[in-house]
């Protein structure tokens, strides 16, 4: 072992480069099939799956939806999602801390993509590592629960910098926690002035209309071929 | 680049092996100085820093305490901790998703270890990656907020398997969230039958006595030289 060189940094770069190539191939497939693809990221328990359930129930009569669920273990989330009558595939990373382009490609092979309008990829619950790996998605959506506190955009800036949309979730719990949504807005706009910020409660449905409208607009534009 | 072999898996192993050697050196230093060292792990916003503040206030009159704060960015947490009159050093990982033995060693060089009884290392907020890296600590403590939901031990089993203590935090919010603490108990004991589970609210102080008593017992044993 003493004869080996310290190769870790070059190898990490190579992994990211290889991933980007695969992500580009995924993206070409998504564009060819004319589907909108979202990469949903957050800490564990910020409400990704509940938001997804609420979103599916509001959209599924008008749009055909698929979901790729990323988890370290279990098929619990894919089962929850499949109950809502949409196409669902589970990726188990077996301890891996993020999804990558290759895992998504493997999941796409197991999903019927015909006629799909919207594909949501729910990443592993982790506010750090998923931000480094492109999957081929059109938009990154980050969810932050108000129970996590208003210091998170300053402390975990990367994911807020690369996201297109920030959903500030669980606003029904604001009376019970120490969290100022204005601080979340200000600090996340500092790292990403173009970030679209929406306040929601996936559990009660509060504020969900704005999110659904954003999705409807994107889907309608895609159908028109904009 | 085409001539290089696919080296990533061997390199990851080597990184972990090198880390374990450094962690063992840290451990020898901790034992020599007769201090108790904890590695505090959780998702972002589960309440690590608030728990630490509450813990310090209860113990600092009887024991000398130091804190190493791990964050991607900012020195906000180390500043919060330093206000409580204990020794604090900040590690900024600059995007890195976990602390490792080497980062802790570098932080130890910046801290006065003389007469220290308790050193708490607050890891980066991440329920996945920190579980893979030994720091030389005597005990791993994982915090799970009830706002994250009761499915987390099943979905993120590694950190619950390697921890000695699980603090189920924010129990003051139980009336407002969908979370059954019995499910947390059952599923975490399935992956780790020896796990000590305590229910607390770092914010209100509820249940904190059990945690403080556990710490006092460990510190007293160390002082007696058990």
| pLDDT at res. A51 | 97
Which run of H or of E encompasses B168? strand B165-169
A150 and A183 Cβ atoms separated by less than 8 Å = yes
Distance CA A102, CA B201 (A): 41
pLDDT of residue B223: 86
- Mean per-residue pLDDT of chain B: 93
The band of B226, judged by pLDDT with boundaries at 50, 70 and 90, is: confident
d(CA A75, CA A110): 15
Q: Which of A5, A41, A45, A81 to mutate to test the interface with B (most CBs of B within 10 A)?
A: A45
Which pLDDT score is estimated for A121?
Answer: 98
Task: Give the mean model confidence (pLDDT) for residues B34-44.
Answer: 98
CB contact under 8 A, B45 and A44: no
Say whether pLDDT at B98 is over 90: yes
* Residue A12, pLDDT score: 60
Percent of all residues in chain B with a pLDDT value above 70, rounded to a whole number: 94
Give B6's contacts (C-beta < 8 A, 6+ positions apart): none
- CA-nearest of B225, B222, B226, B224 to B37 is B222
Q: How far apart are the C-alpha atoms of B174 and B170, rounded to whole Å?
A: 7
Whether the pLDDT of residue B166 is over 60: the answer is: yes
How far, in Å, CA of B32 to CA of B108, rounded?
A: 14
pLDDT, position B16: 83
pLDDT at residue A15, rounded to an integer? 79
* Beta partners for residue A68, in sequence order: A89, A121
Average pLDDT over residues B52-60: 97
Cβ within 8 Å, pair B72-A128? yes
Q: Are strands B65-71 and A196-199 parallel, antiparallel or unpaired?
A: unpaired
DSSP 8-state symbol, A139: E
- DSSP β-bridge partners for residue B165: B141, B196
**Helix or strand or coil: residue B216?**
helix
B56 burial (CB, 10 Å; 0-12 / 13-18 / 19+) is buried
Task: Report pLDDT for B4.
Answer: 40
d(CA B180, CA B57): 30
pTM listed for this prediction: 0.91
**Is the CB of A73 less than 8 angstroms away from the CB of B203?**
no
pLDDT of B56 over the 90 cut: yes
Bridge partners for B40 per DSSP: B122, B141
Helix (H) or strand (E) holding A89: strand A87-92
Question: Can you state the percent helix, strand and coil of chain A, rounding each to 5?
Answer: 45, 20, 35
Q: How confident is the model at residue B225 (pLDDT cuts 50, 70, 90)?
A: confident
Residue A37 · residue A138 · CB < 8 Å: yes
CB A136 within 8 A of CB A23: yes
For residue B83, pLDDT beyond 50:
yes
Within 8 A of A145 by CB-CB distance, chain B residues are 45, 147
Residue B13 CA, chain-centre distance (Å), reads 23
User: If you measure CA to CA, which chain A residue comes closest to B70?
Assistant: A155
Distance in angstroms (rounded) separating the CA atoms of residues A95 and A103? 13
Which of A197-211, B73-87, B167-181 comes out lowest in average pLDDT? B73-87
Q: What pairs with residue B168 in β-bridges?
A: B144, B199
CA quadruple B46, B155, A157, B71: dihedral positive or negative? positive
Rounded CA separation B168/B59 (Å): 20
Separation of alpha carbons A9 and A20, rounded Å: 17
Give chain B positions within 8 Å (CB) of A53: none
Q: What is the pLDDT of residue A9?
A: 53
Low-confidence ranges of chain A (pLDDT < 70): 1-13
Distance from CA of B217 to the nearest CA of A (A): 31
Tokens standing for residue B124: 């980066």
| Cα gap A21→A101, rounded to integer Å | 8
Residues of B in contact with A158 (CB under 8 A): 72, 95
pLDDT, position A7: 44
| Nearest CA-CA distance, residue B86 and chain A, Å | 22
B199 beta partners: B168
- Predicted confidence (pLDDT) at residue B5 exceeds the cutoff of 70: no
Query: The tokens of A56 are what?
Result: 């599916």
Q: A41 pairs with which residues across the strands?
A: A142
Per cent of chain B over pLDDT 90 is 88
The maximal CA–CA distance of chain B, rounded, in angstroms, is 62
- The answer to whether B124 contacts A128, with C-beta atoms less than 8 Å apart, is yes
């Amino acid at each position: 072992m003493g004869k080996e060189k310290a190769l870790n940094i070059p190898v990490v770069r190579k992994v990211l480069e290889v991933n980007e190539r695969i992500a580009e191939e995924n993206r070409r497939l998504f564009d060819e099939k004319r589907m909108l693809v979202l990469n949903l990221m957050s800490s564990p328990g910020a409400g990704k799956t509940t938001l997804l359930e609420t979103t599916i129930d509001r959209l599924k009569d008008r749009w055909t939806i698929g979901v790729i669920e990323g988890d370290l273990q279990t098929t619990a989330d894919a089962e929850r999602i499949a109950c809502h009558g949409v196409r669902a595939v589970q990726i188990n990373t077996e301890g891996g801390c993020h999804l990558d382009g290759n895992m998504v490609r493997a999941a796409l092979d197991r999903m019927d993509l015909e006629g799909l309008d919207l594909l949501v990829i729910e990443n592993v619950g982790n506010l750090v590592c998923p931000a480094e790996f492109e999957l081929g998605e059109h938009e990154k959506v980050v969810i932050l629960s108000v129970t996590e506190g208003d210091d998170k955009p300053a402390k975990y800036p990367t994911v807020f910098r690369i996201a297109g949309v920030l959903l500030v979730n669980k606003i029904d719990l604001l009376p019970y926690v120490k969290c100022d949504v204005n601080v979340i807005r200000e600090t996340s706009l500092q790292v990403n002035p173009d970030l679209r910020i929406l306040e929601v409660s996936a559990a009660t449905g509060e504020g969900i209309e704005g999110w659904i409208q954003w999705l409807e607009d994107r889907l309608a534009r895609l159908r028109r071929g904009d």
